[in-house]
A and B are shown apart, each in its own frame.
Chain A
Amino acid sequence: MNRRELIGKWELFLFALLVAVLVAGTLTSEYFLTTSNISIALAGAMPTAIVALAMMAVIVTGEIDISVGSIVGLCATAIGLTIERGASAEFAVLASMAVGLLAGALNGVVVAYGRVPSLVATLGTLALFRGVAQIVLEERGISNFPQWYQELGFGTVPYTPFPWSAIPFVVLFLIALFILHATYWGRGLFALGNNRTAADYSGIATRKYIFAAFVASGLACSIAAVVLTGYLASARSDTAIGLELNVITAVVLGGVSVFGGSGKLIAVVTAVFVLALVQNVLGLAGVTPERQQVVTGLVLIISLLAFAGPAKLRGWIAKVTSRTNTHTVAN
């Protein structure tokens, strides 16, 4: 059973799915393949895509970060506040990154060093970060962003359908691709996600790696907040509520095991775009956001079930082989 090959097949499946959605979109709506529609779809997908890059790193270690939506909301709040106080947009971006860094570090400290399960820890910070955003902004929305800032979220690179926000995404994607699949740091994440004890014995500082993955998640959220506030042209305390569902759906659809230790970034990014285009096609067909949410949830469950078949098979094989092992070792 060669896992590399399996994921290779999964990627092919995702590419085929992407093509199918493109075809379906073209057939159902004449607006689908227009430049403006594609750029709107891409611009809308960027926050999810950016956060998914770091979420993959977190899930590869076998942890999870469900506070991402709230971190984006908190960063958006920081952006709104600084701009409201008359600071430059550049400063607002820095403020957002600082807030994201701190939020990610808090998650990382609690999970990696406080030995709290990431599920509960980030469920707690999900409420905490959103709560702080609400305390600060209450029900206000801030929208007096400078023109270029809004361009970042909505405008397109001249002569292309690509939104400006695709540039930070591509840069971050390349960095994440490099780190996860080419460096010793990424290799360490995969190693500890598969077998944390063996990683410890190999001199890998596993706690630091987990901490760093959560910090990366916080930072990615802060960039996503910049893109998203530009796209929405406003910052509110409820910005990006429920984002974690989209992100985790994309990562799981991308074939990353929620138990850690396996996955490919290219597949995750493909999955993000599949989801975004599905939602776009549904939107064009007049399907309400609520129905789109149902579709997202269904896609999550169905992709999990699609994995459960092979996983059950894998589990069975593992059981048979481990029986051999326990046997030979136990003697």
Chain B
Amino acid sequence: MNAVVDLKNISKRFGSVEVLSNVSMELRAGRVHALAGANGAGKSTLVKIFAGVHQPDAGTIRVDGVEVTIAGTADARRQGISVIHQHPALFPDLTVAENIFVGRQPTRLGRIDWPEMRRNAGALIDRIGMKVDVDARVKDLGVAERQAVAIAAALSSEVRVLIMDEPTSAISAHELEQFFAVVERLKKEGVAILFITHFLDEIFAISDDITVLRSGKHIVTAVAADLTPASVITHMIGTATDDLFPTWPANIGKTVLSVDGLCGADGFDDISFDVRAGEIIGFFGLVGAGRSEVAEAIFGLRKTLSGSIAIDGRKQSIRSPREAIEQGISLVPEDRHEQGLVLQFPNRANTSLALLRRISDIFGRIRGEREETLAETYSRRLGVVATGIEQLTGTLSGGNQQKVLLAKWLALEPRVLILDQPTRGVDVGAKADIYRIISELASAGLAIILIGDDPDEVMAMSNRVLVFRNGRIAARFERGAFDREGMLTAAAHSPVHSLNGEAA
């Protein structure tokens, strides 16, 4: 059987980071190919190369044995390749039917045939086996329903290759069962499917072939029956690279932050934990498991319904980031472009942004020399590579931007430091630097919360780990009793054995 799409020796780099090197894979008609890998392994880049969003720097793409270039999304579609992105680009104000057929509505005599469009949309939705009102507006739908709309849209033109980037990350167990049924049906129709997911149980439930990527490198491709969940995890994580992580003497003091029974309006329930001075607590969990939401609640960005937050044993009501900063809490947010930095500002202004009041005189004038000293000091301490503190932050590499972001929050001299995925999208060198800085901060007596979805990182850096699942703390591990597989199992949201026999 020949491959429908065949990628050979694909490489791609962005700036100084090589994101894919020499990756090859084939998609065959009627087979589900799973793509596994930790965060940053290069899965999304590979998907974007399939979709024509990115062009590879090296390597060839063949469709039906003919070498092609995929110039863009529309071009990919013309060649029969449809992609469902993790966050599908839907039109919130339009109806489900319109979202499915946008730009390609069925017409009769030059006039959009609404009944026909609604019928076709209904048929596609039925084909997926979901129940979504075709007249509903997408902005009124839940996450799973939106996902269904995206799948239906992908199927609305003739599809030979369907690529699904983490389609299951937001759907419930019941919907998952339906989703698998859809995949089975498409498989029987002869569609080649590429399936990307974090969840190993899902991989083994529906895949025929499995490819594992790690740090942009092709690790293994094999028939699913030849692999086990444990071997896939080993391939994904590799042997722990211990030299990346520093060691430091634990110097644990009194409890600084204690959270008790915290319930949020959106995303988490009954969260309790303490963080002591000099201690790093790891928050491990998947996206949407509630770990970032808890951090944002502590930082005053989210409303809480009940529960309490205490600093040094005194209860505090924190209603805004400003109040959190006054209490000595710093949050290094996960998205440095959206939430963290003003890319148009020089490093100096980014470093001082959260503490401008402190370095201003009674007229509100920012004391220039203090601002510069501060920026210089932290720039040196964190090893920011730049032409100077006046270089615009947007022109720095990802790793250096991340260091500026750290500088901004460390300059506040916080007592509690929350780091939300501090090494996301940075290269290995910067990673090692950031780990070293975190360990130094812990030695200096900061209470640190480290949020991550790389189990290695969380285990190597934390004194204790809390595993989040569905907005709750699913498991707690102490240093010395860390268990990688145990953590992954606790974080995975749908034990596969409970899927069968689940009645609505």
Contacts and interface: CB of A to CB of B under 8 A. Distances in A.
Q: Do chains A and B touch in the complex (CB under 8 A)?
A: yes
Interface of A: 1-3, 178-179, 182-185, 187-188, 190-191, 194-195, 197-205, 261-262, 321-325, 327-331
B366 A183 contact: yes
A183 B339 contact: no
A324 B401 CA distance: 13
Contact of B365 (A1, A178, A327, A328): A178
Contacts of A197: 338-339
Contacts of A178: 363, 365
Contacts of A198: 338-342, 353
B320 A205 contact: yes
Given A187-B366, A201-B333, A203-B325, A329 B425 contact: yes
Contacts of A322: 337
Contacts of B360: 183-184
B325 A321 contact: no
User: 7 closest A-B pairs (Cβ-Cβ)?
Assistant: A184-B356, A328-B425, A183-B364, A203-B322, A324-B14, A330-B44, A203-B321
B321 A202 contact: yes
A205 B342 contact: no
B335 to A, nearest CB: 7
Nearest to A328: B425
A325 B324 contact: no
Given A191-B353, A201-B301, A203-B324, A321 B394 contact: yes
Contacts of A204: 322, 353
A3 B344 CA distance: 8
A328 B17 contact: yes
Contact of B344 (A182, A194, A205, A323): A194
B15 interface: yes
Nearest to B408: A202
B180 interface: no
Interface in B331-376: 331, 333, 335, 337-345, 349, 353-354, 356-357, 360, 363-366
B303 to A, nearest CB: 14
A327 B45 contact: yes
A202 B354 contact: yes
A190 B42 CA distance: 36
Interface string B32-44: 0000000111111
17 contacts: A1-B392, A2-B392, A182-B366, A183-B363, A183-B364, A184-B366, A187-B349, A194-B342, A194-B343, A197-B339, A200-B321, A201-B340, A205-B320, A324-B398, A328-B40, A331-B19, A331-B41
A197 B324 CA distance: 16
A195 B45 contact: no
**Which of B320, B342, B395 has the most CB atoms of chain A within a 10 A radius of its CB?**
B342
A17 B342 CA distance: 32
**Which of A190, A203, A205, A322 has the most CB atoms of chain B within a 10 A radius of its CB?**
A203
B353 A328 contact: no
Given A183-B363, A191-B345, A202-B354, A327 B44 contact: yes
B339 A185 contact: no
A171 to B, nearest CB: 15
B54 interface: yes
- By DSSP majority rule, is chain A's interface helix, strand, loop, or mixed? helix
Contacts of A183: 360, 363-366
A185 B356 CA distance: 9
Contacts of A325: 337, 398, 425
Contact of A203 (B19, B42, B342, B354): B354
Given A184-B360, A327-B54, A331-B425, A201 B331 contact: yes
B302 interface: no
Contacts of A2: 392
B235 interface: no
B366 A331 contact: no
Nearest to A261: B344
Interface in B1-58: 14-15, 17, 19, 39-45, 48, 54
A203 B320 contact: yes
A195 to B, nearest CB: 5
A331 B322 contact: no
Contacts of B349: 187, 191
Nearest to A325: B337
Contact of A195 (B14, B42, B342, B392): B342
Given A195-B343, A329-B335, A324 B353 contact: no
A213 to B, nearest CB: 15
Given A184-B357, A262-B344, A331 B43 contact: yes
A205 B363 CA distance: 18
A121 to B, nearest CB: 21
Contacts of A329: 335, 337, 424-425
A3 B392 contact: yes
Contact of A331 (B39, B301, B344): B39
A191 B342 contact: yes
Contacts of A199: 342, 353
Contacts of B363: 178, 183
B283 to A, nearest CB: 18
Contact of B19 (A179, A194, A327): A327
A331 B339 contact: no
B353 A202 contact: yes
A179 B15 CA distance: 39
A318 B17 CA distance: 18
A179 to B, nearest CB: 8
Nearest to B340: A198
Contacts of B425: 325, 328-329, 331
Given A183-B364, A197-B339, A202-B353, 8 more contacts: A184-B366, A194-B344, A195-B343, A201-B301, A261-B344, A322-B337, A324-B15, A325-B398
A183 B365 CA distance: 4
A325 to B, nearest CB: 6
Nearest to A182: B365
Contacts of A191: 342, 345, 349, 353
**Which of A194, A261, A328 has the most CB atoms of chain B within a 10 A radius of its CB?**
A328
Given A191-B342, A201-B333, A203-B322, A328 B356 contact: no
A194 B339 CA distance: 11
A27 B249 CA distance: 80
A192 B338 CA distance: 12
B498 to A, nearest CB: 30
A325 B396 CA distance: 11
B398 A331 contact: no
